[in-house]
Amino acid sequence: MRVKRAISGWLVLLVVLHATVIFAGFFSPYDPAEQDRKNPYLPPMRVHFVDARGRFHARPFVYSLRLHEGTFDQYEEDTSRPLPLKFLVRGASYHLLGLLPARLHLFGVQDERIYLLGSDSYGRDQLSRFLYGGQVSLLAGLLGAGVTLLVGLCVGAVAGYFGGWRDDLLMRLAELFLALPWLYLLFALRAFLPLAVSPLQAFYLIIAVLGAVGWARPARLVRGVVLSAKERDFVRAARGFGATDAYLLRRHILPEASSVLLTQAAILVPQFVLAEMTLSFLGLGVPEPVPSWGSLLSSLQQYSVLASYWWMYLPALIMLPFFLGYLGLGGELQQRREPYKIGKEPGGLR
């Protein structure tokens, strides 16, 4: 029972985090591409309850920022102008889930703009860009993992179940793909394609490449499970009663691979998100102005940004709970699959 509760804990964390990304339009105050050229590299605004004169306000507020005199990149809080936070305000229009037109935002301020995570070189809100970027990056990770697992499942099932030359061929191929340096393969692939591709094309390309490179490991895992499952007595018995190959695979053999696949999925998703980020960081991912987590961090390639604007790191920090959630879930799934191997749970073989 304890294991089950732990799984739901990680799941709840992931569901909450993903909800903020899925409903990015609602949770982010602005459109991710909306520029504010007057305010580049604005540091994050602090949320206050107590104003400069020591008075407590029930409604949280921020101070607008102004340039420190005599500098060009040092900002300070303008304590004369508190900007009270308004909740459920109407603002920039967006489409909820890509379908429903809406204007409602969780929070905002009147007249001025609020930057809780600071702004980038064009004065775009980093928080909005993070949430919208998560849609691209997490979807790439999930779809990439899905494609990978699907291909891995099919290849592993065929190799393990039918065996013989099919097994040899597919497994040698898998070893070849395991040995490929995927980043350079990606560079080569990208070099073949025209320089300017639309964001959607770039997105599909990333998923295709991620899937094409990653299938080998799950395929080998599934093959192992299938090899042991097909020799089980009840599988042999079912065959003895006239079960077809398709039935045996579907009802008797592949269900045993499901826990392996789930665990793999939980491990693969963050890997693929990171892969997408690597691509976008190098400028091979989804092009501007569509944000993704990789392109959010790509401004850190410039030394001046790295040295002067520490808040440009913040997105990387906020990504951590996402990855930890997936890895924690993967660990729990693994433990549920093989409780006695980890040996923490009662009833283990020790």
Partner 1 sequence: MGSILEVRDLRVAYGPRGRGAFRALDGVSFCLESEEVLGVLGESGSGKSTLATSILGLFRANTIVATGAVLFEGSDLLQAKPDELQRIRGKRISLIFQEPSMALHPTMRVGRQVQQVLAAHGMKGRSALNQKTREVLETVFMEETERIARSYPHQLSGGQRQRVLIAQAIACGPSLVIADEPTASLDPTTQMEILGVFRALRKRLGLGMIFITHNPALLAGMADRLLVLYAGRVAELGPAEEVLASPKHPYTRSLLESIPPLLDGPRDGNKKKLPSIPGDSRPSSLPGAGCPFEPRCPERMDICKTRDPQLVNVSQSHTVSCFRYENQ
Of 281, 291, 305, 298, nearest to 34 by C-alpha is 291
Closer to partner 1 by CB, 184 or 241: give it.
241
Q: Which of 110, 234, 303, 307 binds partner 1 (CB under 8 A)?
A: 234
Segment near partner 1 (CB under 8 A); pick from 76-84, 105-113, 238-246, 273-281: 238-246
Q: Is residue 241 close enough to count as binding partner 1 by CB under 8 A?
A: yes
Burial of 120 (0-12, 13-18, 19+ CB in 10 A): buried
In angstroms, give the least distance from the CB of 219 to partner 1.
19
Neighbouring residues of 136: CB distance < 8 A, sequence distance ≥ 6:
203, 276, 286, 290, 291, 292, 293
Query: Binding to partner 1 by residue 258, rule CB under 8 A?
Result: no
Q: Which of 57, 66, 90, 236 binds partner 1 (CB under 8 A)?
A: 236
The answer to the question of residue 233 lying near partner 1 (CB under 8 A) is yes
Among 81, 90, 95, 232, contact with partner 1 (rule: CB under 8 A): 232
Distance in Å, CB of 232 to partner 1, minimum: 7
Q: What is the CA radius of gyration of the chain?
A: 25
DSSP 24-84: HHHHSSS-TT---TTSTTPPPPPPEEE-TTS-EEEEEEEEEEEEPTT-SS-EEEEEEEEEE
User: What DSSP character marks residue 119?
Assistant: B
* Helix, strand, or coil (residue 216): helix
* Nearest CB to partner 1, comparing residues 249 and 319: 249
Is residue 223 close enough to count as binding partner 1 by CB under 8 A? Answer: no
Q: Pull the structure tokens for residue 272.
A: 């693929």
Beta strands in 263-319 (DSSP E): none
124 or 230: CB nearest partner 1? 230
Q: Which is nearer to partner 1, 217 or 239 (CB)?
A: 239
Min dist CB 239 to partner 1, Å, is 6
Check: CB of residue 261 under 8 Å from CB of residue 160.
no
Binding residues for partner 1, rule CB under 8 A, total: 19
For residues 85 and 235, which CB has a smaller minimum distance to partner 1 in the complex?
235
Residues 6+ apart with CB under 8 A from 103: 90, 91, 92, 93, 94
Q: Decide if residue 247 touches partner 1 (CB under 8 A).
A: yes
Site string for partner 1, 150-169 (x = CB under 8 A): -------------x------
Q: Is 243 in the site for partner 1 (CB under 8 A)?
A: yes
Q: How far is the CB of 2 from partner 1 (least distance, A)?
A: 23
* Interacting residues with partner 1 (CB under 8 A): 163, 231-234, 236-245, 247, 251-252, 255
